Amino acid sequence: MQTHSLPPSNRRNFLTTLSLSTAALMVPGAFAEELLRTASVEEGPYYPDKLPLDTDNDLLIINDALTPAVGQVTHLSGRLLDSSGSPIRNAVIEIWQVDSTGTYLRARKPGAQYDANFQGFGRFLTGSTGEYYFRTIKPIAYEQRPAPHVHFAVKIKGHDKWTTQLFVKGDPGNAKDSLYRNIHDPKARESVTVEFLPVPGSRIGELWAKFDMVMGYTPSA
């Protein structure tokens, strides 16, 4: 497993730079026809019952700790759009996933094995172009779920919470995973299947993944 560590003094600057770089690549525009809506997938039982002290968008470092989480560093970003292709800003996007031992934050128990350095949960408020960014680890499979995945929740004022799950494109566990198989429409399945690609020039094997989410409504201004 790859690990990555940044000096505490550079951590926030790193996140700000990455977020701004992501936003610069994502220019909002109009679409000629309605976009394919991202498939909704159930929340599952492991949404944290108690949020961690740190709920920012860097799941690898808790507060200003020096020891990073174990796992393959992944820069996960995308845009939140309505069905016409317009960006949705000021939406709260939350993610949660297992650590390198296959343990959710909610499932941690005293004396059990888990990565105490993995935040396990993060939040991001979308900007003017609907962009979001997280630094996390590449998801892994665990006993109950053969398909590696990341849980997403989108919270928009005036609307019910919306949830989905991101799956890794090409992972052999997808074909064995009941939730993935239950997405019968090929286009809907494709909407939640994302390629994880190497970051050019990374010396530690970092990955990046782009996951745009399209909602089925247009939020009020």
Burial 110-124 (b: 16+ CB within 10 A, else e): eeeebbebbbbbbbb
| CA gap 95, 163 in Å, rounded | 10
Reported as a single tens digit per residue, the pLDDT across 127-154 is 999 999 999 999 999 999 999 999 999 9
Predicted confidence (pLDDT) at residue 28 exceeds the cutoff of 60 = no
* Residue 173 token pair: 């566990």
| CA gap 61, 15 in Å, rounded | 11
Paired strand residues for 155? 92
- Domains, in order of start, for the chain: 8-213 (2.60.130.10)
Q: How many CB atoms lie within 10 A of CB 16?
A: 11
Residue 34: pLDDT band (50, 70, 90) is: confident
Reported as a single tens digit per residue, the pLDDT across 153-166 is 999 999 999 999 99
DSSP string, 38-63: PPP----TTS-SS--S--SSBSSS-T
Q: What's this model's pTM, rounded to 2 decimal places?
A: 0.85
